[in-house]
Structure 1
C-alpha cells in the first residue's frame, strides 16, 4: 500500500509539501500540486481521513440526533440537512432516539466518540431534560432545531409556531367559521403550546369564545387526530350539542387522522366539518380532499441548521443566534366558506 513518502518520492517533493497539498494548509504552486496529485493517482494513494482529522482536529463530520416518528416532517427536514452537508463537503452521522432516553444517551456518546465537529439536536426527548453529558464537552458546537430542547443554551433554529397557529385560526374565521375547535399537540412541548396560544389569541382578537369541549390534546401522530374526533363526538352526544364547524389540527398527521375518523362517521370534509393542518408535509396535497395547512419551510430549516453550525465552527466565540423561520398558509380544499 502506497504511503505519503512514496508520493513525495515520485513527485520529488518533501512529505510536508504532500501534506500541505492534501490538507490545503499552506499555499503550494499549481505545478507542484499537479505533480503531487498525479503521483497520488499513479500510486492509487488516498490520504487517511483519520490521520488528517487527528492532525487538523477536524473530522468534517457532523452529528444529528433526531426523534423517530412516522411523521414525514422529520424526513423532509433531514433531506435539507443531508443536501447542505453534501454541498459543504461534510459527512453526516444520524442517530434516532425512538423516544427512548437510554438510547438517546447512548447515541450522544456514540456521536462524541466519533469525534463529530458539531451536533444538531432535533430531539423532543431532550425537552425538559438535564443534558448533563454536554456539560463535559463545553467546546462542542451545538445547534438546537425545532422539536429540540429550546431551553438549552445554544444556537437555535425554530418555527414561529405562535404565528402559524394564529394564521390557521384566522383563516377559518375569515371563511365565516365561529364554532372552531383545536386538536393540540402534547402541551409539554414548545411547538404545541405556541400553536395553541396562537389559536386562542386569534379567537380572542375576533371576540369568539373558546369552547373547552372542542379542545383535545393529541400526540402529533395520526391516531391523535383520530382519537380527538372520537372525544369530540362523545362530548357532543353526552351534552346534546353539535360538533364545531371547523377544526385546527396542530400538525398534518393529526389532521389526516381526524379526517379519517370523520369520514368513517359519515361526515363529508369540508361540507360537514372543515379541517386545517400544520406543517405542509408532501402527503397533504394528495389526500382527499387536499389539506389546507400551514407551510413550514422544512428544507430551509435543515439548510439553516447546517449553515449555523458551520458558522459556529468558524467563529466559536460569536454571540448565540436564534433564527426564526416564518410559516405561510397554503389554501387547498379542506375548508369551506360559510
Structure 2
C-alpha cells in the first residue's frame, strides 16, 4: 500500500507538503498540488477519512453555528463572513437555524455536540442572558457569542458598539439642522436596542434638545414593525422633522408607510437607519444609515474561536467593532 513518503518521492516534494495537500491544512500552489494529486492517483493512494483523522488528533475541523431566523438580511451577511473565514482556515461549518424557538435551539446544540464540533458560534438574541441546556455537558467546548448581551456562562463575545452607533445617528441629524427628532427603537429588553437608544438620548441631551415621548416608539426590528410604528406616530399628531429608526428593516417599513401617506423622504421627513444592509443603498431614496461591519463581525468570531482552540487566549474576551456613518439621500440638511 502506497504511503505519503512514496507520493513525495514520485512528486519530487517533501512528505510534509504531501500531507498539507491531502489534508488541506495549508495553502500549497496549484502546480505542486496537481503534482501531488497526480502522484497519489498513479500510486492508488487513498487518504485516511476525515473521521479517522479526527479520532487521532481529537479535532474534527468543524464549527457549529446557531442563528435566529429573521427576514433581516443582516444575519445572512454575517453568516457570509463566518463561512468565508471557515473556508480560508480549512474548517467546515454546520449552520443550524433556531427559528427563534428555545426547544429547537437546544435540540440543535445536542446535534452539534454529537457531531463533535470543535467550537460553537451563537447568534440567537432570543435567548439573551439565558442558561442554555446542553452546554453544561461540555464545559471545555469554546463558545463565541455574536452581538448580544451578557450571558450566564463563560464565553468570548464579538459585538458592535451600539451605544456609539446610536449616538452617531442622532448627532448626524442634529448636525444636519434637525431639532424635532423621534426614534423608533428595537425591543428595549434587548441590549442592542437599549444601547442604541441610550446613545441617541445622550446626543440629544448634550445638545439641549428635549426628548419628546410622543415621538418615541418601541418596535421589533422587522419591516412590519417599522410600518406600524410610523402609523402610530401619525396618530399621535404632528410628526418630527427627522427619525432615527434603529435598524434598516424597520426604516424600510417607515419609508413605505410614509409614501402611502403622501409624506416625502427627505423633503418632509428625514430618516436615518442602522446596520447598512446591502440593499440600503438601493432604496428610494438611498438610505443614510449607521454601518455595522457585518462581514468583519463574522470573521472576528471565527478567528477568536480558533485562537481559543489554539489556547492563544485564556480569559473570556470581548472584541468590539466600531460603527461608521454612511451618508446617502434620506436626510435633509436644513
- Superposed pair shares fold, TM > 0.5: yes
CA distance in 2, matches of 1:43, 1:230: 70
* Secondary structure class of the residue paired with 1:192: helix
Within 5 Å, which residues of 2 pair with 1:108-187? 108-147=109-148, 150=151, 152-187=153-188
Other-structure match for 1:42:
43
- The answer as to whether partners of 1:8 and 1:36 remain within 8 angstroms in 2 is no
2:289 matched to 1:293? Answer: yes
1:223-262 CA-to-partner distances (Å, cap 9, x unmatched) read 11101001101111xxxxx111100000000011001001
How far has the Cα of 1:287 moved from its partner? 0.6
- The answer as to whether partners of 1:123 and 1:148 remain within 8 angstroms in 2 is no
CA distance in 1, matches of 2:70, 2:127: 15
1:143-171 CA-to-partner distances (Å, cap 9, x unmatched) read 11114665542111000000000000010
CA distance in 2, matches of 1:294, 1:316: 33
- The answer as to whether partners of 1:73 and 1:279 remain within 8 angstroms in 2 is yes
2:49 matched to 1:59? Answer: no
Query: For the structure 1 residues 106 and 8, does the alpha-carbon distance in structure 2 shift closer, same or farther, using more than 3 Å as the test?
Result: same
5+ unaligned residues in a row in structure 2: which ranges?
9-14, 26-34
2:271 matched to 1:261? Answer: no
2:321 matched to 1:325? Answer: yes
Other-structure match for 2:192:
191
Number of residues of Structure 1 aligned to a counterpart in Structure 2: 316
* Secondary structure class of the residue paired with 2:274: coil
2:83 matched to 1:88? Answer: no
CA distance in 2, matches of 1:211, 1:50: 61
How well do the aligned residues superpose, as a CA RMSD in angstroms? 2.4
How far has the Cα of 1:136 moved from its partner? 1.5
CA distance in 1, matches of 2:208, 2:37: 75
1:49-88 CA-to-partner distances (Å, cap 9, x unmatched) read 1111111100000010001111010111111111110100
Other-structure match for 1:205:
206
How far has the Cα of 1:23 moved from its partner? 6.5
Other-structure match for 2:12:
none
* Secondary structure class of the residue paired with 2:257: helix
CA distance in 1, matches of 2:244, 2:105: 32
How far has the Cα of 1:142 moved from its partner? 0.5
How far has the Cα of 1:40 moved from its partner? 5.8
How far has the Cα of 1:326 moved from its partner? 0.2
Q: Identify which range, 69-78 or 147-156, moves more after superposition.
A: 147-156
CA distance in 1, matches of 2:222, 2:38: 53
- The answer as to whether partners of 1:79 and 1:299 remain within 8 angstroms in 2 is yes
Other-structure match for 1:7:
2
Query: For the structure 1 residues 230 and 131, does the alpha-carbon distance in structure 2 shift closer, same or farther, using more than 3 Å as the test?
Result: same
- The answer as to whether partners of 2:227 and 2:253 remain within 8 angstroms in 1 is yes
5+ unaligned residues in a row in structure 1: which ranges?
1-5, 26-33, 237-241
1:290-338 CA-to-partner distances (Å, cap 9, x unmatched) read 0000001111101111000000000076122110000000000000012
- The answer as to whether partners of 1:7 and 1:40 remain within 8 angstroms in 2 is no
CA distance in 2, matches of 1:284, 1:276: 11
How far has the Cα of 1:46 moved from its partner? 2.9
2:242 matched to 1:246? Answer: yes
* Secondary structure class of the residue paired with 2:56: helix
- The answer as to whether partners of 1:40 and 1:46 remain within 8 angstroms in 2 is no
Query: For the structure 1 residues 202 and 45, does the alpha-carbon distance in structure 2 shift closer, same or farther, using more than 3 Å as the test?
Result: same
CA distance in 1, matches of 2:243, 2:313: 46
* Secondary structure class of the residue paired with 1:73: helix
2:102 matched to 1:101? Answer: yes
How far has the Cα of 1:126 moved from its partner? 1.8
